[in-house]
Amino acid sequence: MNGCSECRSLTRRGLLRRAGQAAGAVALADPILRNVAMTHAQTAGGTGNLLVLCELNGGFDGLSFLAPYTNPVFAANRPNLALGADDVFPLADDSGYGIGRMFPFFNELYGQGEVAIVQQVAYPDMNGSHFESQEIYKFGVRNLVSGPGTKASWYERLRQSHFDEPYGVLDTRSIGDPRRYGYPDRTYRGAAQDAFARLARLKQNRTAVQQSILDTYDKIDRLGEEIRTSTEDFVSTGEATGEFFRAAMLASANLGTQVLKLSYGGFDTHAEQDTANETLFPRLNDEFAQFVNDLQARGLWERTCVCFYSEFGRRNAENGSPGTDHGHGGHMILVGPGVSGGRKGQNVTTADLQEKSLPYYVDFRAVFSACIRDWLGFDPSPVFQFDGEAYDEEVGGELFA
Amino acid sequence: MIKTWKSVGARWCGLVLVGLLTVSGCGGVSGGGGGVPDIGVLGISPASLDDGAEFGGHPQFMSPYRDTLTSDEAYHLLRRAAFGATPDQVDAAVARGLDATVDDLLTLKTESQALQTLAESFEDRADERWLVYLIEGANPLLERMTLIWHDRFAASRRVLAGRDRNLGVVHWRMLRANALGNYRDFLAQLTIDPLMLIWLDGANSPKDSPNENYAREFWELFTLGRDVLYTEDDIHESTRGFTGITLLRDGEGDARPIYDILNHDETVKNVFPGRASAENHDYLSIIDLTLEQFEAARYVAGNLFKAFVHDHPSDAVIDELAYTLIESDFEIAPLVRKILTSQAMFSDDARGNQITSPVEHLVGVARTFDMHIESEESQTNQVRRLARDLAAAGQQLLNPPGVEGWSEDEAWLEDQWIINRVEAFTRTMEYGPDRTAYLPLHLLPPTDEWDQREVRGEMVDAIASVFHLDLEDEERDIYVEVLDLNGYRAFHLIEPENQPRQVFEMIRLMAMDERVIGR
């Protein structure tokens, strides 16, 4: 990456940094640095818990996660793809349903009461486009045609209303590898990244607009430095990889983050679904398991809840490929020690399986609202309540203990 | 003669033109630089103009600036009118003069067949198609105008599904066809554009329960400005006027608009009762009525002035520009010409006051470096990746955040958006007359000199000069250090296969200079 740490310290930058650390008072005088110099503190009015949003892109097949494997309609609809008794861990409280065998970690936590499966979730008036449906989940509004709802994601709105901190919301996709966050210089010795910072601080006598550009560059560099230095020493208890690895680094970075967003892709299994899932499901399961392990090792798991969701579910019947096409209702899965485990929403019935896709009984915003209210300790109404955006708050059960 | 010239004009006229007899152009009544005698005829090259004479235009005067531009002035003009310019293009502008340069920018050239075919290969992905023309098209001012209108008449293709997907391209073509055309015709075509009809419910406005969405935005955002002249009652009335338009979807082609009198509310509507009599309005007569109001011409004038010049035009300036528009019966090109050749355009107020959007920034640098979409990789993956990077930087073409368009200037300075702009510069293609890959070698010292000590400074100076940047010594040293691997090893001693990377990093860093991302 950026060479060995001794070499790093020999750069001009390293010398300046060490000088700065000696003058801690200087750091605290800078308003930006003061914010991040604090160790994680309780935000006023909140619980200080961490909500991790894991978006499963493409349309995650809820029926392959929690399968009604004894239901003949399920098998009839999917002669090739339906999960059978050998493919699931039957639920202790209802042997008619089972968690797919490719999710052993989820099954283990379900057994400990730490997994809440909110079944048949979506939004009214189905939109089968990935692009738009993902935006509906991202903005938390059904009507995407402008208005206050589409200026920023719902979790950004939450941050702006309740915990306006520089690292309040972090997205692994936009940060990339946190150990390298900032000006994207991949050269040996980070010459351009260094120069970016020095140039921003060097210049005088600029117009107001030009100065605001330079101030932004300076901020990117300083905050970037903070994220990099907070994550550079992260060591996993195992072999962490993937987006959950980045999420683990950011969660451990002690930056006051309350919402951590990441995504896994590839779930749009229109063809050869069984082959695809043989890669997709274990990867998700294993990388998530490592994430939990790493957080447990640092005493962070207790205050964490992970929410898995997808832009829609998949059709009840398989197509000729064999795969499944875009459906409507899907399952949202909450995992964490603070979660009240079990099945929520509406259990999947024969009638549901006889539809083209699982219907929706629970609005996704009700689930997110419960997370905001009961896990993060904030009032969710400024986030989702807009003109023309009414939805049902019922989630069919208690999600948090 | 020198003593009678007024202050601003006299400043440089007096210094340089001692002995010239044709004073009629210099030091006009208004005190600005005015037109000047044709210096070329008298054998004085533009390079001998005193530097203090640059950008001497008055920020609130629309009278023409002098025809002979300095190199920096020409670059300034081309950045704002055409995103960027190669050194040759800047020289040509200086040689031709302001009038001829603006004429050339306003003259539409036919795009090559190869370029059209390349653009069409991106099918319904209108943002990728547009990028082809933005980077290599022959009409950069047209593209800039199209971008300005797209932001003003903002509509997003995210509401399109299935067969309608191509309507994004249809909308974009309509914008380009009208961007330098007639504003009245433009509004008519905009109103019945299929994407617009879906976006603002125009096609879903039956006469018995009409939808106000389009009527409201038409005045509030598109033609008059928030709360200018119109009242809620006017909106109720004009909504009824806008009825009658629906979308016909048949056979294989794109959905098309049809005007059906049976769907149109045929009653009398009372729009702007203080200024007009009631009549049975349809969408065309509402457009006409709107354009009869002076506020409409002022709105266009003010918006175009702010897009090119600065954000504080006086009322007199806006009025003058509004009259230009009206006198040409709403032809857009004369208004654009007047703005681009004005004193205000070359005033100090028009410098360093804008932050380019991600698209303008990238395209500007691409054009300055004479980038071409030549190789197969460029023509497929690189264009696509660039479109994605620009979206990640905050601007996906044909997908604005809402009907109010994108937020300007400082609103572009989101941390992650800025970082993603830097990433977007990795989508290199082919540069210069020899179509060199990865680096614009035609702007740099020849590669066989890269093992010489002086080449480091020469390289930095070369790129700085292309961007018209005056680097202070400390700045220059910092860039040289980038070449030198952060001071670890002098550039000319690095292995040849590792040198291009350092050059790329230096160039990319300079492309983020506040005078390159800003203008």
Each residue's pLDDT tens digit, B185-217: 999 999 999 999 999 989 988 898 888 889 999
Same domain, yes or no, for B275 and B193?
yes
Same domain, yes or no, for B167 and B197?
no
Chain A residues touching residue B479 (CB < 8 angstroms): 195
What's the pLDDT at B102?
98
For residue B8, tell me if it sits in a domain. no
The residue that leads in pLDDT, A176 or A60, is A60
pLDDT in tens, A87-130: 999 999 999 999 999 999 999 999 999 999 999 999 998 888 77
What's the pLDDT at B13?
37
What's the pLDDT at A177?
81
Mean pLDDT, range B34-47, rounded to an integer: 40
Mean pLDDT, range A138-163, rounded to an integer: 86
When CB atoms are compared, the residue of B355, B482, B486 closest to A11 is: B486
Of B237, B255, B286, which one is at a domain's C-terminal end?
B286
Choose the weakest-confidence range: A187-196, B416-425, B454-463. A187-196
Distance between CA B214 and CA B200 in Å, rounded?
Answer: 5
pLDDT of B225 above 50: yes
For residue B7, tell me if it sits in a domain. no
Tokens standing for A180?
A: 């390298």
Of B235, B265, B286, which one is at a domain's C-terminal end?
B286
pLDDT in tens, A29-68: 344 433 333 334 444 568 999 999 999 999 999 999 999 9
The residue that leads in pLDDT, A326 or A344, is A344
Q: Which residue of B has its CA nearest to A213?
A: B514
Mean pLDDT, range B84-94, rounded to an integer: 98
For residue B311, tell me if it sits in a domain. no
Nearest to A68 by CA among A48, A49, A88, A53: A88
Mean pLDDT, range A192-208, rounded to an integer: 92
What's the pLDDT at A70?
96
The residue that leads in pLDDT, B61 or A45, is B61
Same domain, yes or no, for B426 and B450?
no
Same domain, yes or no, for B498 and B418?
no
What's the pLDDT at A44?
56
Long-range pairs for B440-449 at CB < 8 Å and ≥24 separation?
Answer: B440/B369, B440/B370, B440/B371, B440/B507, B442/B370, B443/B87, B443/B369, B444/B503, B447/B496
What's the pLDDT at A248?
96
Q: Give how far B417 is from chain A: nearest CA, Å.
A: 9
Chain A residues touching residue B399 (CB < 8 angstroms): none
Chain B residues touching residue A11 (CB < 8 angstroms): 486-487
Answer whether 0.80 is exceeded by the pTM: no
Count of Cβ atoms closer than 10 Å to residue B41 Cβ: 8
Query: Which domain, by its residues, includes B191?
Result: 182-286
Q: Are A288 and A244 in contact (CB under 8 A)?
A: yes
The DSSP bridge partners found for residue B258 are: B246
For residue B10, tell me if it sits in a domain. no
The answer to whether A187 faces chain B, any CB pair under 8 Å, is yes
Q: Which candidate in A172, A203, A216, A261 is best for mutational testing of the B interface (most B CBs within 10 A)?
A: A216
pLDDT of B476 above 60: yes
Q: Which candidate in B347, B419, B420, B427 is best for mutational testing of the A interface (most A CBs within 10 A)?
A: B419
Choose the weakest-confidence range: A79-83, A223-227, A356-360, B232-236. A223-227
Contacts across the A-B interface (CB distance below 8 Å)? 121
For residue B512, tell me if it sits in a domain. yes
For residue B296, tell me if it sits in a domain. no
When CB atoms are compared, the residue of A187, A219, A220 closest to B505 is: A187
3-state DSSP of chain A: CCCCHHHHHCCHHHHHHHHHHHCHHHHHHCHHHHHHHCCCCCCCCCCCCEEEEEEECCCCCHHHHEECCCCHHHHHHCCCCCCCHHHEEEECCEEEEEEECCCHHHHHHHHCCCEEEEEEEECCCCCCCHHHHHHHHHHCCCCCCCCHHHCCCHHHHHHHHHCCCCCCEEEHHHHCCHHHCCCCCCCHHHHHHHHHHHHHHHCCCCCHHHHHHHHHHHHHHHHHHHHHHHHCCCCCCCCCCHHHHHHHHHHHCCCCCCEEEEEECCCCCCCCHHHHHHHHHHHHHHHHHHHHHHHHHCCCHHHEEEEEEECCCEECCCCCCCCCCECCCEEEEEECCCECCEEEECCCCHHHHHCCECCCCEEHHHHHHHHHHHHCCCCCHHHHCCCCCCCCCCCCCCCEC
Count of Cβ atoms closer than 10 Å to residue A45 Cβ: 11
Q: Do B401 and A128 touch (CB under 8 A)?
A: no
Same domain, yes or no, for B361 and B432?
yes
- Taking only residues 199 to 218 of chain A, the set having a beta carbon closer than 8 angstroms to any beta carbon of chain B reads 199, 202-203, 206-207, 209-214, 216-217
Q: Which candidate in B471, B482, B483, B506 is best for mutational testing of the A interface (most A CBs within 10 A)?
A: B482
Mean pLDDT, range A135-157, rounded to an integer: 86
Same domain, yes or no, for B493 and B414?
no
Same domain, yes or no, for B281 and B195?
yes
What's the pLDDT at A150?
81
Query: What's the pLDDT band for B361 if we cut at 50, 70, 90?
Result: very high
What's the pLDDT at A146?
64
Distance between CA B84 and CA B134 in Å, rounded?
Answer: 11
Chain A residues touching residue B156 (CB < 8 angstroms): 145
What's the pLDDT at B23?
35
Per the prediction, chain B carries an average pLDDT of: 89
| DSSP secondary structure string for all residues of B49-108 | S-GGGTT---TT--SBPPSPPPHHHHHHHHHHHHS---HHHHHHHHHH-HHHHHHHHHSP
The structural domain count of chain B equals 3
pLDDT of B25 above 50: no
Chain A residues touching residue B420 (CB < 8 angstroms): 174
Same domain, yes or no, for B375 and B465?
no
Same domain, yes or no, for B175 and B187?
no
Q: Do B513 and A219 touch (CB under 8 A)?
A: no
pLDDT in tens, B275-318: 999 999 999 999 999 999 999 999 999 999 999 999 999 999 99
Chain A residues touching residue B487 (CB < 8 angstroms): 11-12, 191
Same domain, yes or no, for B279 and B195?
yes
Handedness of CA A260, A266, A267, A268 (dihedral sign): positive
For residue B44, tell me if it sits in a domain. no
Handedness of CA B435, B437, B442, B447 (dihedral sign): negative
Using a 10 angstrom Cβ sphere, with 0-12 exposed, 13-18 middle and 19 or more buried, the burial of residue A61 is: buried
Same domain, yes or no, for B217 and B236?
yes
Choose the weakest-confidence range: A224-238, A280-294, B214-228, B402-416. B402-416
For residue B376, tell me if it sits in a domain. yes
Q: Do A199 and B513 touch (CB under 8 A)?
A: yes
Same domain, yes or no, for B160 and B186?
no
Q: Are A320 and A293 in contact (CB under 8 A)?
A: no
Query: What's the pLDDT band for A320 if we cut at 50, 70, 90?
Result: confident
Q: What is the ipTM of this complex?
A: 0.86
- In order of their start, the domains of chain A are 47-178+238-384 (3.40.720.10)
Chain A residues touching residue B511 (CB < 8 angstroms): none
pLDDT in tens, A238-279: 999 999 999 999 999 988 899 999 999 989 888 889 999 999
